[in-house]
A and B are shown apart, each in its own frame.
Chain A
Amino acid sequence: MADWYDTVEHDVLVIGAGGAGLRAAIAAAESGCSVGLVCKSLLGKAHTVMAEGGIAAALGNVDPKDDWRVHFADTMRGGQMISDYRMVEFFAKEAPERVYELERWGGLFDRTPDGKILQRPFGAHTYRRLCHVGDRTGLEMIRTLQDKAVHSAVQVHMEITLTRLLKDAERIAGAFGYRREDGRYVLFRAKAVILATGGWGKVYKVTSNSWECTGDGCAMAYEAGAELMDMEMVQFHPTGMVWPPGVRGILVTEAVRGEGGILRNANGERFMERYDQKKMELSSRDVVARSIYKEVQAGRGSPHGGAFLDISQRGAEFIKKKLPSMYEQFLKLADIDITKSPMEVAPTIHYVMGGVRVEAGAGASTVPGLYAAGEVAAGLHGANRLGGNSLSDLLVFGKRTGEHAAAYAKGLVATPRVDDRQAGEERALLQRPFEGGGKENPFAIHEALQEVMGTYAGIARTGDQLARGLEKILELQKRSGDLHAPGSMLFNPGWHACRDVRFMLTLCEAIFRSAFERKESRGAHWRLDFPDPDSTWAARNLIVRRSDGGMQVSVRPVPQVPAELAQLVQPRA
């Protein structure tokens, strides 16, 4: 082995320490494998820590009629029938046990008066289903998993960025990257690799996502030959903060609507009456986001281009108890006391439904030995994710994927070989911003790509727009060959941003190509030139794959729902 990098060996390497990565690492370790867990930030800081509203699981604690079948149906309807029904079935059936397990590991939730886990209503869930603790459910979840993981056989490697998957012929052999602290290169050898790297909301400017959400895992999988799916499906959460500018995009949890928040336009009208009379504010995210957008387009928006969300009628005591972080967030950052005045909100990028295509129960990608779980994996949420369904997704598929990857690793007779040349190539790419005569500032390219995504792949899309946006992204890709980073390899954000930007540009291209191809409106994907859903498209997923160095989009049939499950999803009278 070469001496210009450190080598670490594990049976299973988990990339990402959010909810999915932690749960996968625990499962793989419990299966008896040696497990390495890598993350870009410190442990416990991953994006999952920000989740607020709750974990969706049909415990039936406050609405006894709830059960997995209803959760299944709600999730399929939310996904507008392009979800993989097999994933949805595992998910709805196993989520309750995963929540109880979290409690056995020390997690604490709000309780009902008779001592059970309390559940709150959320958009498009038929019953009150979200297990929560105030509005800091993500923190509770990540802390519980973190403490479980550090007391198990998981070895944690913090503040390491991995930038390339290594292969031995067709199968996975490990991953390569650098330590952020000192720039030292690190090579992980592993029999199986689990991607749990989260989403890529950072390709948009108005976003609720943390800096880590640059889609590295998804882009690495693509570069390693894996298939991506449903990349056009990007979720706009209806309620992000809009003012002041510094906080634009920061999430206003759906729990505000769950706990009774009312949306009004500039004329004081409760405009959801126009768009979904039955569910009103608790309609699904795509519907509410589009409604706000339409109000603004019609000239009835709030002063900063959004809508008013008012919870003040619930009273100060209730609000401070149920939504303490929201109360603090507005008071501190926007000088608004939400117990007295409405919040100003507008749609913000929040979640990506697309990602690495995986096999339903196992999380296996199309590359042998490469697995994916959590937001980076596609298939569960289809065209629109319901609130609360992500946290239970992380638990259910984190566990499943961890177990399957461990079983695969144990089944390998020989450890895959690692070829130094792949690491060498990657090093050359990483070094380039320091060498040569590059002039491009990675932060400027990042801003430029965000501008393109916001303008050409926003909430409302047309074919022409998408085609123009794609051209601009391809130009930026060219410019990104000339990135420049001054300084040394020691904790150098400018240098780190260079690789992030290249990953993001790959995913932007995938979003544009897929969005252009899907000639209908469905869920989060709204085409002004094809304003209606087209039933033939309901049977199709879009697949993105690298072939001959170029990006190719193809169609794949959605797994057909068997009759007994299909009947659960029939529209109710």
Chain B
Amino acid sequence: MADATFQVFRGDAKRGDLVTYKVPITEGMVVLDGIHYIQGHLDGTLACRWNCKAAKCGSCSAEVNGRPRLMCKTRVDEFGDLPITVRPIKVFPVIKDLVTDVSWNYKVNREIPPFTPSPDDPGPWKMYPEDVERLFEFRKCIECFLCQDVCHVLREHEGQSRYMGPRFMVRIAALEMHPKDTRSRTDLLKGAGGIGFCNVTKCCEEVCPEHIHITDNAIIPLKERMADDFFDPWRALLRLFGSKKEPRGT
């Protein structure tokens, strides 16, 4: 059986290096299988996160040959005879090996005002397919944070104190465009959310394993909504008296 060469980052936030392992190739094997092989047969101390092995949980994010990917969705045969380099995602501090400290994301999530329906409207609700289907795209997010990893704003010095990042623009878009939500989050976008820092380079969109059109369908419409609320008093007034949430641009 042929072997694949894995070069895996081993170490912590302070120091670390690539370590080379030979892993037997099996048909249809993915990078995560290689990591598991190393754990089971070569070195049980190799740390990584995973849960589903089916691209559903977003735990196994890493940089494979320099590209942010899900390890469970990246086939080994894609690389031919090349060595496969696996490093932790860069934007968050390394805890150990492939495991990074993503707790910042959980803090950010708590700052976003939750879904807030009208208390006078307990349901069961009527919502038509066309009301909800455009939101499904955002709800597909598996929180792999690969988009956060490539966003140059977050990679910048102090970027994380200015901008919540693409994942949370997707989250806010899902709330803002929900037909039953009654709360406006445009002040958040302008303030702590920092949507103004995004200059729509679309790097985030390129790496999203769920193929979410993060910029076109979430960020740009949110930017427009914010501009309306802050700079177009007529639109803002209309929104105040009419239905606040009429989504546009999607």
Residues in A lying within 8 Å of B, measured CB to CB: 41-47, 49-50, 100, 103-106, 108-111, 113-117, 133-134, 136, 138-140, 143, 147-148, 150-151, 158, 181, 210-212, 243-247, 250-251, 325, 328-329, 332-335, 441-444, 447, 485-488, 490-495, 497
Contacts and interface: CB of A to CB of B under 8 A. Distances in A.
B139 A45 contact: no
Nearest to A106: B115
Instruction: List the 3 closest A-B pairs by CB distance, nearest first.
Output: A494-B44, A244-B28, A106-B115
B95 interface: yes
B125 interface: yes
B104 interface: no
Interface string B111-146: 000110100001111111101100110011011000
B114 A110 contact: no
B128 A491 contact: no
Point out which of A47, A138, A247, A251 has the most chain B C-beta atoms below 10 A from its C-beta: A247
A139 B53 CA distance: 15
Contacts of B28: 243-247, 333-335
Contacts of A243: 28
16 contacts: A50-B51, A50-B56, A103-B123, A106-B175, A106-B178, A113-B128, A115-B125, A115-B126, A147-B114, A158-B106, A244-B27, A325-B55, A334-B28, A335-B28, A443-B41, A495-B44
Given A333-B28, A493-B45, A110 B55 contact: no
A268 to B, nearest CB: 25
Interface of B: 12, 26-30, 33, 39-41, 44-59, 73, 75, 95-97, 99, 102, 106, 109-110, 114-115, 117, 122-129, 131-132, 135-136, 139-140, 142-143, 175, 178, 181
Nearest to B44: A494
Which of A44, A50, A491 has most B Cβ within 10 Å?
Answer: A491
A210 B122 contact: no
A243 B59 CA distance: 23
Contacts of A110: 129
B124 A116 contact: yes
Contact of A210 (B52, B117, B140, B181): B52
Contact of B127 (A115, A334, A487): A115
Contacts of B45: 486-488, 492-495
B135 A108 contact: yes
B203 to A, nearest CB: 22
B116 to A, nearest CB: 9
A49 B52 contact: yes
Chain B interface main SS type: loop
Contact of A246 (B26, B51, B115, B126): B26
Given A111-B131, A246-B28, A493-B48, 15 more contacts: A50-B52, A106-B114, A113-B128, A115-B125, A139-B140, A140-B139, A148-B114, A151-B114, A181-B99, A246-B33, A247-B28, A333-B75, A443-B44, A444-B40, A491-B96
B215 to A, nearest CB: 21
Contact of B47 (A44, A148, A329, A493): A493
B29 A150 contact: no
Given A106-B114, A136-B140, A246-B26, A487 B44 contact: yes
Nearest to A105: B115
A540 to B, nearest CB: 36
Contacts of A44: 143
B96 A139 contact: no
Nearest to A138: B56
Contacts of B114: 106, 147-148, 151
A571 B178 CA distance: 44
Contacts of A49: 51-52, 56-57, 142
A254 B126 CA distance: 27
A442 B44 contact: yes
Given A139-B56, A250-B54, A332-B73, A100 B124 contact: yes
Contact of B136 (A108, A115, A325): A108
A415 B199 CA distance: 55
Contacts of B41: 443
Contacts of B143: 44
Nearest to A48: B57
A47 B53 contact: no
Contact of B57 (A50, A150, A492): A50
Contact of A133 (B52, B115, B139): B139
A103 B125 contact: yes
A44 B122 CA distance: 26
Nearest to B115: A106
A47 B59 CA distance: 12
Contact of A147 (B51, B52, B115): B115
A329 B131 CA distance: 28
Contacts of B181: 106
A133 B123 CA distance: 19
Given A136-B140, A150-B109, A329 B55 contact: yes
B40 A443 contact: yes
Contact of B51 (A100, A133, A212, A328): A212
Contact of A111 (B56, B128, B178): B128
Contacts of B58: 45
Contacts of B97: 491
